[in-house]
Amino acid sequence: MNAIDLGAGTAFLGRNALFFDELDSTNGWCKRNDLPHGTAVLAASQTSGRGRMGQSWSDSPGKSLSFSLVLRDWPANRLAALPLACCIGVLRALTAECGPGFAVKWSNDLLHGEKKVCGILCESVLSGGSATVVIGIGVNLTRTEQEFKSLGLVYAASLESATGKKIDGRELAAAICRELEPVLIKFQEFGFLELREEYRRSCLTLGKEVRVIQNGRELAGLAVDIGGDGGLICEIGGERVIIHAGEASVRGLYGYV
Ligand code: BTN
């Protein structure tokens, strides 16, 4: 393990940074260790990268950015929409580094065109009214279309395959820290309502037919808006239903779950 200087120029996010050649999961390591607020943990490869909804996350050494950020004493009432707030910061960083063309698929997948380039997994441990949070961010940097195909990941792309840009992982981690820090400060102080308009503008799911899988039942509807707490408001069978991240998967947008 090496302490590294990301050079992000931030007040707290990524000021402490640790780099590992290999970890099981950067999120898992952060959860097992007592790390200061804002610490970034990067790994060149993960042997058991974790994705949302109990799925695994596949990365390959040198071809992906896998890192986690630790937030301490994070208010418990600012957890539900945190992954959506993170999307805004990461989207800003991807746009700054690679140019336009990125969008969000509700709740917290980042796409370029029709393909997923980045996933975010927020995990938290509550203690009283506050939590220790680990924000895990995985970005595909340089894998080719062929590599994704052979892995059966037909709806995935890398920054290079999607935009032609070869992006350095540490520079991107620094850019994410720089863009995400002010978003987190605003979100902590004012909540998601202050960020909702930017999220709406970036969200490809809105206006699309969706199939919501909730408690094993599949319901068809139309995604119409984002709620004040980050829920997806859908019209299903003539009624407005709010779907919360983690409670349901939304299919129907490019077939990607
Ligand atoms: C998703 O399912 O879309 C979320 C993927 C999150 C992957 C990142 S890679 C760094 C961090 N460590 C993990 O084990 N997972 C997250």
The model's pLDDT over 230-256, given as tens digits with 9 standing for 90+, comes to: 999 999 989 999 998 877 777 765 554
Give the separation between CA 127 and CA 56, rounded to whole angstroms. Answer: 27
Q: Which atom of ligand 1 is nearest to the CA of 55?
A: 2
pLDDT of residue 245: 83
How far is the centre of ligand 1, averaged over its atoms, from the C-alpha of 160 (Å)?
A: 19
**Residue written as token pair 């993960």:** 46
- Count the residues in the chain: 257
User: How far is the C-alpha of 109 from the C-alpha of 144, rounded, in Å?
Assistant: 19
For the chain, the average pLDDT equals 94
Residue 235 Cα to ligand 1 middle (Å): 30
Q: Please, is 192 exposed, middle or buried when counting C-beta atoms within 10 Å of its C-beta (0-12, 13-18, 19+)?
A: buried
What does the alpha-carbon distance between residue 45 and residue 22 come to, in Å, rounded to a whole number?
Answer: 5
Which residues have a Cβ under 8 Å from the Cβ of 224 and sit 6 or more positions away?
Answer: 206, 207, 233, 234, 235, 240
**Tokens 């037919």 sit on residue:** 209
pTM for this structure?
0.95
pLDDT in tens, 2-61: 999 999 999 999 999 999 999 999 999 999 999 999 999 999 999 999 999 889 998 888
Residues with CB under 6 A from ligand 1: 25-27, 46, 49-52, 55, 57, 66-68, 109, 119-121, 136-138
